[in-house]
Amino acid sequence: MVNDFQRGSLSTRLGIPMIYGTDAVHGNGNTYKATIFPHNVGLGATRQVVGCAKHYVGDGGTTNGINANNTVISRHGLLSIHMPPYYHSIIKGVATVMVSYSSWNGIKMHTSHDLITGFLKNTLRFRGFVISDWSALDVITTPPGANYSHSIEVAINAGIDMVMTPFNYTRFIDGITPLVKKNVIPMSRIDDAVRRILRVKFVMGLFQNPLADHSMAKYLGIQKHRELAREAVRKSLVLLKNGKSADKPLLPLPKKASKILVAGSHADNHGYQCGGWTINWQGFSGNNFTSVGEHPYAESLGDKLNLKIREPGPGTITNVCGAVKCIVIIISGRPLVIQPYLSTIDALAAAWLPGTEGQGVAKVLFGHYGFTRKLPRTWFKTLDQLPMNVGDPHYDPLFPFGFGLTTKPSKTN
Active site residues: 133, 299
Which DSSP symbol is given to 119?
Answer: I
Q: What backbone phi and psi angles, to 5 degrees, belong to 54?
A: -155, 160
Q: Residue 189's Cα: distance from chain center in Å?
A: 31
Cβ-count burial of 190 within 10 angstroms (0-12 exposed, 13-18 middle, 19+ buried)? Answer: middle
The end-to-end CA distance of the chain, in Å, is 52
DSSP 97: E
Distance of alpha carbon 251 from alpha carbon 242, whole angstroms: 6
- Nearest alpha carbon to residue 234 among 385, 332, 111, 369: 369
C-alpha 71/C-alpha 26 separation (Å) is 26
Beta bridge partners of 129: 96
Q: How many residues does the structure list for the chain?
A: 413
* Torsion sign (Cα): 278, 279, 280, 285: negative
Dihedrals phi, psi of 249, to nearest 5 degrees: -65, 145
DSSP class per residue in 171-189: HHHHHHHHHHHTTSS-HHH
Cα(296)–Cα(285) distance, rounded to whole angstroms? 8
Q: Tell me how many degrees the CA angle 9-10-14 measures, rounded to the nearest 5.
A: 95
Residue type at position 175:
G
> Rounded CA gap, 12 and 9, in Å?
6
- SS3 at position 362: helix
Listed residue (135, 130, 129, 127) closest to 152, CA to CA: 135
